[in-house]
Homo-oligomer: A and B are copies of this chain.
Amino acid sequence: MVQIKKNIGVETKSTSCGGTFLHPTPMLDELEKGPWPSFIVGIKELAERTRKPMLRGVLDQLEYSYQTKTGYWEGGLVTAYGYGSGVISRRSKIADKFPEAHEFHTLRVQPAPGLHYNTTMLRDLCDTWEKHGSGLIALHGQTGDIMLQGIEEAKVQECFDEINQAGWDLGGAGPAMRTSVSCVGPARCEHACYDTLQLHYKVMQHFAGDVHRPQYSYKFKFKFSGCPNDCTNAIFRSDLAVIGMWRDAIAMDTEAMQGWIQKNGVDFLVNTVINRCPTRVISLAEGMMVIDNANCVRCMHCINVITEALSPGRERGLAILLGGKNTLKVGAMGGTMIVPFFKMETDEDIAAFIRLSETMIEWWNDNSFDHERIGETIERVGLKQFLDGVGLDASIDMVSRPRSNPYYKSES
């Protein structure tokens, strides 16, 4: 049973009484309790060790926020040289009360594709950050950035220079190309239909200028998932969702399949695989599983369950879904299937992908209002107008059904 009433209250190593540097934070101290790793424990430990006044101020202000149920940061503009974005500026609205926290800017740093690290690069980053900033790092922001949280404006440039020399670059903010994420993909996943890490890397290198110097109508996000499981949440959380796709039949290792059925039983096959196929195209034939691939919608489910015997077909590539975003103004929208299959094998394919992306982004910048995501623009002007604008043909894949109203300009 899930516990629903009371906290367990298991104590982990609490620093709340031991330190001498920090001020009392009775409400925050409540968050040191319990078995889940506590960010308060972490910040306090860091503060006690480094004795950085900024951290003490931040904890004081946060305690005050907990008491007053009010936030006290305000935005502003801080940038690195030549950049228009990448630093999120935070100044305290109550610096008179907590002067130590008067500045608490964040550097958004682009991670390696797939969020892969070696310990050297991470340790170096920690060292630089401890030198110039607070020592607090969010791994990772929801868009994928490494967020170096807490630095004074005066130290931003030297900090950035140092990490830039180590191979890091700033991420996006404002009306710009944003930082991207890719799933672990071919690095460690058997489902990957294209090289998520490479495409992420090449695309974001190409758009580096647009990341750094906001010049779009609003933000634009890519996310790269290697298959329709969409482990990066691309469909609802990126303007251009890149989803691995295959075009031919699901590949089946019949021997492994037989083994799997033997091990798990036909009942399990029927109840957990056959019955859960969204288009019900799997049938049982003499104890074997048979897929009518023409009606398979590439949902991944059977492959997920029987990973040892099934995999995406061999004709692999990606699909492009456009216009995903979250709630603001229009309610959350999922990306719309625009390109069901795009080959992604060679450098030319990457170049073609980038060209197509640019065409779409250009169309959007030409046709959008201020602060309008591409999905909103498409919804406002019409999907047909978008397709005409970027030179794509319509396909039934783009919709769940044809229109049911006559309200359109049919010209004969």
Contacts and interface: CB of A to CB of B under 8 A. Distances in A.
A251 B327 CA distance: 46
Contacts of A405: 327, 331-332
Interface string A141-183: 0000000000000000000000000000000000000000000
A410 interface: no
Interface residues of A, number: 7
A395 interface: no
Contacts of A118: none
Contact of A332 (B327, B331, B332, B404): B404
A406 interface: yes
Nearest to A329: B407
Contacts of A406: 327
List the number of copies, as a whole number. 2
Interface string A323-334: 000010001100
A345 B180 CA distance: 64
A407 B331 CA distance: 8
Nearest to A407: B331
A176 B391 CA distance: 49
Nearest to A331: B405
Interface in A198-256: none
Interface in A303-339: 327, 331-332
A203 to B, nearest CB: 30
A327 B404 CA distance: 9
7 contacts: A327-B405, A327-B406, A331-B404, A331-B405, A331-B407, A332-B404, A332-B405
